[in-house]
Amino acid sequence: MTKTVVSSLDGLSNDTLFGMWARGEVEDLLDLPYEGIRVEIIGGQIVVSPAPSLAHAGVLSDIGEAFTVASVKEPDFPWVTRQVVNLYRETAGKGCIPDLIVLDADVLGATVEADAFGVAPDEIEMVVEVTSRSNSEQDRPPITGRRLADPNKWSRYAKVEIPYYLLVDRSPKEAKTTLFSVPDRSTGAYLLRESWKFGETIRLPEPFNIEIETSRWRPWK
């Protein structure tokens, strides 16, 4: 899946960009060719992504299904997943769309009942991102020693203190899944991580306590 940074709206303040994004005006101004395109505000820029590949979507489906199976086995299992949901922090004028979020079923129910624009960081227990060829640096921790002028998704999720971040890296050089935890708001970094290679079973700890099979996951070609 390719990703393009759009510069036609350069010069607008981040608050203005966020307001336009929240009202759906950015898509109208860009005259996007078809539905299913993702529009985000990352690092003060508008970023447009086409729909994910089947392999990318398959990974997300496998993760979602693992949570569904757990809910069937355990009636009190509280966690549900949703794909491509607006995540925003209105006080900071920033918004993005994670590949998948994990949140409490009661929180989801209240959000649906309110017909909310999206979810706030404190309503989410875990975000999930699956890398693509052209946007992987937005999802990964920054290279050691390199300071980001504008936070990428990894840093932004830590800054708003989302407890867990699951990163599925489909790069042939990586081909692994990493669970980041213990976000540090002051530095915009996750302090702990645990990784599994493709083919290994992911075992998410409490509060999830579920297993995710990765035998069908493959790096991009």
Higher-confidence position of 109 and 135: 109
pLDDT digits (tens, 9 = 90+) for 117-128: 788 899 999 999
Write down the pLDDT at residue 135: 75
Instruction: Decide if pLDDT at 98 tops 70.
Output: yes
Higher-confidence position of 209 and 18: 209
Whether 108 and 124 have beta carbons less than 8 Å apart is answered as no
CATH class belonging to 53-212:
alpha beta
State the residue for tokens 């509280």.
78
What letter does residue 142 receive in the DSSP assignment? P
Instruction: Decide if pLDDT at 63 tops 80.
Output: yes
What's the rounded mean pLDDT across residues 123-147? 84
Query: What rounded mean pLDDT belongs to the chain?
Result: 82
CA dihedral 68, 168, 188, 13 (to 10 degrees): -90
- Residue 34 token pair: 């078809």
Write down the pLDDT at residue 141: 93
pLDDT band at 97 (very low <50, low <70, confident <90, very high): confident
In the chain, what are the domain boundaries?
4-48, 53-212
Q: Which residues contact 33 (CB under 8 A, 6 or more apart)?
A: none
Instruction: Decide if pLDDT at 149 tops 70.
Output: no
Write down the pLDDT at residue 116: 80
Write down the pLDDT at residue 87: 77
